[in-house]
Chain A
């Protein structure tokens, strides 16, 4: 796979580096990299990877561009609001570098599609904004023996690490279990727009190094960044013998991923209600047609700022101890700020044996946007 004259010109600054040169650039051209999430991290990561001449670049995202994304997601322009992210990213990246084959995967990554999708690539860059997806990507990479460059952000803080099969620990060795809902995402907690730029560019750097076999990979090292203190720190961590996916006796396997995958990375078999559907349920409850318990799993401070009529407040951290407070024969709808904590609540209640569970998709933010603009939705800090 040799370089054309225009490619030699485009990548001339790479070719000047003895560590890359023509052979390295041809390696990049042969490489297939998948970026999970075309968001704050995926934007800079995919832009730099396309600019660097990674031959095949896949972009997974099933979301649409929102005006609130544009403060940090540099793949998109104001005119893209409402358009699908994966296809819009494809157009933008192709315009940046027509020599790169950009593949848009407009889908939600799930156990039953993750393995097949990731298997078509050499390396994965994870820029997802949900812990469930983050764990699914890690687990699939371990099962498939694919290198992974992972990063995450929150307010003014970021963290990054790489997994290379056979060379060190995986993300699950660092944080063994997901704490979905206990850890707020950008929609809930806010984020400095430029922060994912730092971390996403770092991910692209790692990905390029791993493709070329250059330098020291971020394996077994968690790099943290504090934008306010303007400090980077490094923490070493080891592989866990009891890691559920890369340990001696893994419980997460190809088969378990496929079996768990049908209903996505969230809780299996649980209903998600759109604001309009929840409104219908509330009307049914008011007419005493159905017993519906609305359980708001946000913090008391958020609950007091504004909540649905008749909702009871059980913060997610207390839910396992207070499940008994929910009437046993009612169907339950969990709500939170943006729909993350409510999903975690559904999973927790389902594991405890509760049936008839649902949550409000998009949370109170969606409720305020679609049903009740006067509703105050407090930030989750």
Chain B
């Protein structure tokens, strides 16, 4: 299982959890698995054209993800980052 760090604007989908586990060989599969356990979460991150939404960035460890096809290792940590607006 891969550790996924959830930003606070998306924690309403994970019952407030800041960290969840999910599985997948690629980022796309991982987001699909997340959505099965936390319905609606994927659509907040990926649009109808299968693009990562422009206010969301995904990092594998510290490396920025460009496409949903990027591969994952079991030891990876995935960080979901959401633009914040508060000041």
Point out residues on A near B: beta carbons under 8 Å: 37, 39-42, 126-131, 134, 151-159, 174-180, 182-186, 189, 191, 196, 222, 224, 226, 228-229, 233-238, 317, 340, 381
Contact = CB atoms under 8 A, between A and B. Distances in A.
A153 B87 contact: yes
B81 A235 contact: yes
A159 B80 CA distance: 13
A157 B9 CA distance: 10
Interface string B13-53: 00000100000000000000000000000011000000001
Given A183-B83, A184-B85, A154 B57 contact: no
Contact of B79 (A180, A186, A235): A235
A186 B86 contact: yes
Interface residues of B, number: 24
Contacts of A234: 62
Contacts of A134: 85
B57 A237 contact: yes
B72 interface: no
Given A234-B62, A235-B64, A238-B64, A184 B57 contact: no
Interface of B: 7-9, 11-12, 18, 43-44, 53-55, 57, 59, 62-64, 79, 81-87
A156 B11 CA distance: 12
A154 B55 contact: no
Given A237-B57, A238-B64, 20 more contacts: A39-B87, A40-B86, A129-B86, A130-B85, A134-B85, A152-B83, A153-B84, A154-B8, A154-B9, A154-B85, A174-B57, A174-B83, A175-B57, A177-B55, A179-B54, A183-B84, A184-B9, A196-B86, A224-B81, A235-B81
A131 B83 CA distance: 9
Q: What's the dominant secondary structure at chain A's contact region?
A: mixed
B54 A189 contact: no
Contacts of B79: 233, 235
Nearest to A224: B81
Contact of B87 (A37, A174, A228, A238): A37
A156 B8 contact: yes
B87 A152 contact: yes
B85 A381 contact: no
Contacts of A156: 8
A237 B64 contact: yes
Contacts of B62: 234-236
Contacts of A185: 85-87
B57 A235 contact: yes
A276 to B, nearest CB: 27
A42 to B, nearest CB: 7
Interface centre among B11, B18, B81 (most CB of A within 10 A): B81
Given A177-B54, A381-B12, A228 B18 contact: yes
A217 to B, nearest CB: 18
11 contacts: A130-B87, A152-B86, A154-B7, A182-B44, A189-B8, A196-B87, A222-B81, A234-B62, A236-B64, A317-B43, A381-B11
Nearest to A320: B48
A163 to B, nearest CB: 15
Nearest to B12: A381
A154 B9 CA distance: 8
Contacts of A237: 57, 64
Interface centre among A40, A41, A127, A176 (most CB of B within 10 A): A176
A40 B81 contact: no
Nearest to A134: B85
Interface centre among A154, A222, A233, A237 (most CB of B within 10 A): A154
Nearest to B63: A236
A293 B61 CA distance: 47
A71 to B, nearest CB: 13
